[in-house]
Amino acid sequence: MKSILHAAVLVAAMFLPAALTNWAFAQVAPGFSNSKIVLYEKEKGDRGYWRTGLASDSKQISPERMALRERMMKRRVLEQYAEFLSPLRLPYTLLMIASDCSGSEWDSPYYDPDNHLINMCYSFIAEAEKSADLLVQLQNTQKLWTPVSRDQLFAGLFASVLLHETGHAIFDLLNVPVFGREEDAADFMAAFIPLQFGTETARTVIKGFAYYWAYSAAQGQDPKLGTPRVNPNSPEPQCRLSFCSFSDEHGSASQRMYNVICLAYGGDPVTFKDFVDAGWLPQQRAQDCTREYQLLSAAFNKTVLPFIDQEQMKKVRARTWFTAEETKEK
């Protein structure tokens, strides 16, 4: 199972029923269907937004999470994401759900290769909403980077998480060979795809992703940008030290932030120039980002592009995916 963060709840998928049968094709807008991308209903009519966690005996979600679920349903986030992915020609069905995952305080969204399923966990989204509120407050008191609105931050983060998990799904379902850490490659997919969809979409996703990691770093998981995460409670004594924390399959918060900004700047130096000017990305890294982007673009063109329906892609490109509020810069 491949998650965007540490895999604290990976056992969760074991509770999925052995035979997935309640498939509900995404209720998509006309012209945006893809029969291989399916919202998986646990209960008839839930549209893939489960009222429970994954365990068969899991309780109904709390009123707060129910309200969050309703906001997601109203915004049609899963349906719209299925529409966004409609040009992808997959050999197998990809399932998507939102659920309470393990029912814990906090779970990371993930892709489950055994069930070909992407799961967005409500607890992660609830925390992300809080992070967005705090970051915007912080912005009011300190001059931070480039300005960002609360809606832009949250929408960008939400999309980048789905794109990261889709990266894992694409590598798995299309059997794409990956050199290096798959977690890095999934981050690169999360940044590369929105760069193909115009300035507003690209900036919203990149900012949401980058701010999230900058914020994680500032929250003590990664006390200074550039310092590895330290875990004083690790069961392995040697991993209570910072050196060992680099052993994780994910990059540190700071590396994930810099990688994504570098890719964005390398792909579109005009649109992302302000990130370099504001010091988000050091000049020393920035000067080689075009080459980093070109390397990734060549890999994408060779391995994934043959599985994209170009006619459908034109329709997806012509559509606006974020609301006006979600692309507002401040």
Interface stretch with Zn ion, choices 15-23, 185-193, 234-242, 303-311 (CB under 5 A): 185-193
Least separation in angstroms between residue 196's CB and Zn ion is: 21
Q: Does 155 bind Zn ion (CB under 5 A)?
A: no
Least separation in angstroms between residue 123's CB and Zn ion is: 17
Spatial separation of the C-alpha atoms in residues 288 and 266, rounded to whole Å: 8
Interface stretch with Zn ion, choices 79-87, 147-155, 182-190, 215-223 (CB under 5 A): 182-190
CB closer to Zn ion out of 148 and 159: 159
Crossing angle (nearest 10°) for helices 150-173 and 77-84: 50
Q: Does 2 bind Zn ion (CB under 5 A)?
A: yes
Least separation in angstroms between residue 161's CB and Zn ion is: 9
CB closer to Zn ion out of 86 and 252: 252
Spatial separation of the C-alpha atoms in residues 198 and 330, rounded to whole Å: 19
* 250 in Cβ contact with 221 (< 8 Å): no
Q: Does 185 bind Zn ion (CB under 5 A)?
A: no
Write the DSSP string, 95-128: EEEEE-TT-SS----EEETTTTEEEEEHHHHHHH
Q: Kind and range of the H or E element at 315? A: helix 310-318
Interface stretch with Zn ion, choices 14-22, 48-56, 181-189, 197-205 (CB under 5 A): 181-189
* Residue 264 in tokens: 């964005």
Using CB under 5 A, which of 26, 136, 186, 260 touches Zn ion? 186
* Residue 256 in tokens: 């994930």
Write the CA distances from 118 to 26, 147, 252, integer angstroms. 14, 31, 23
Give the binding-site size for Zn ion (rule: CB under 5 A).
4
Q: Residue numbers of the site for Zn ion (CB under 5 A)? A: 2, 4, 183, 186
